[in-house]
A = this chain, B = another copy of it.
Amino acid sequence: MLLSQLGELGLLAELEARGLIVGVEHDAAVVGDGLVATQDALVEGVHFRFDWIDWRALGFRAAAVNLSDLAASGAAPEVLLVTLAVPGSTRAADVIAFYEGIAETGVPVVGGDTTASDVVLVSVTALGRSDRVPGRAGARPGDLLVVTGPLGAAGAAFRAGGYAVPPLRLEEGRALARRAHALLDISDGLAVDAAHIARRSGVRCVLELDAVPLAEGATIGDLAFGEDFELLAAVEDPEGFAVVGRVEEGDGVVTLYAGEPYELRGWEHFTAG
């Protein structure tokens, strides 16, 4: 079977079943002593293209998507490790701009690797500390589903030929981690990410799309794009955050608009690629 048939989630499930990877239900790995670690990669031509983003924005983005996973773990970031694979013909000034973009996040780069490659690939590891990592498996019937900000900015920006600047929801993540039953960041699309919670928690997530706060210029369809990097949490008390749905007994995700079923499709790397 090819990866494009198995899918990213199918692959992870297969690796987990064989004991080759562990603990993939969290956005970040809990390493011990409250230490959490996350690693995400951006590949030129797959996750970004240079006619849509400059080097500095790429640096910020590469760091931010990892810091978003720390936020979803309720962690305060400590350090970054950055691997940058670039053609030897790349201008040094561009690489410096890339690291300046990372520095905008305020988290120091303490290691990593630079290496040659035909396409640009960035892999960032973020390490941080968290008192409590809710994970995805604790949502309960009766919980409300909340988000930390407007969604759809990434999809709207993509339709306009660009990328939205990812938000950094570190403070919100720490606040939610103290009380959320489940917490993750919206990287695959609202419905797909809600499905992660539903599957791991053994519950049904009901999303009310007309209650979702939309970013400027965004449509409901943009909710399927993913990469918004806002946080989605299952909580008893939604105070301070926008309610976008609820948790029920059952399984899967139900998406409603004005109370009627409405299909939202998600973003799957291998089948999309």
State the A residues within 8 Å of B (CB). Answer: 1-6, 8, 10-12, 14-15, 18-24, 26, 28-33, 35, 37-41, 43, 45-47, 78-79, 81-83, 85-93, 95-96, 99-100, 102-103, 108-119, 121, 123, 125, 127, 269-273
Number of this chain's copies in the complex: 2
- On whether the beta carbons of B39 and A100 are closer than 8 Å, the reply is no
Evaluate whether A39 and B113 lie within 8 angstroms (CB atoms) in the complex, with A2-B88, A4-B89, A108-B22 already known: yes
Cβ contacts under 8 Å, A117 to chain B: 43, 46, 119, 121
Rank and list the top 4 A-B pairs by shortest CB-CB distance, nearest first: A116-B273, A29-B111, A4-B88, A123-B123
- On whether the beta carbons of B271 and A21 are closer than 8 Å, the reply is no
Cβ contacts under 8 Å, A38 to chain B: 81, 111
Roughly how many angstroms separate A102 CA and B15 CA in the complex, as a whole number? 12
Among candidates B31, B95, B114, residue contacting A110 with C-beta atoms closer than 8 Å: B31
Quote the shortest CB–CB distance from A213 to chain B (angstroms). 28
Given contacts A39-B83, A43-B116, could you give 18 more A-B pairs where the C-beta distance is less than 8 Å? Answer: A1-B91, A1-B93, A4-B89, A8-B114, A11-B95, A18-B96, A21-B109, A21-B110, A35-B127, A37-B37, A37-B79, A37-B127, A39-B125, A41-B115, A46-B117, A117-B121, A125-B125, A127-B127
A-B contact pairs, 16 of them (CB 8 A): A1-B91, A2-B89, A3-B92, A3-B114, A8-B115, A18-B100, A29-B111, A37-B37, A37-B125, A39-B113, A40-B113, A41-B83, A81-B125, A88-B271, A88-B273, A117-B119
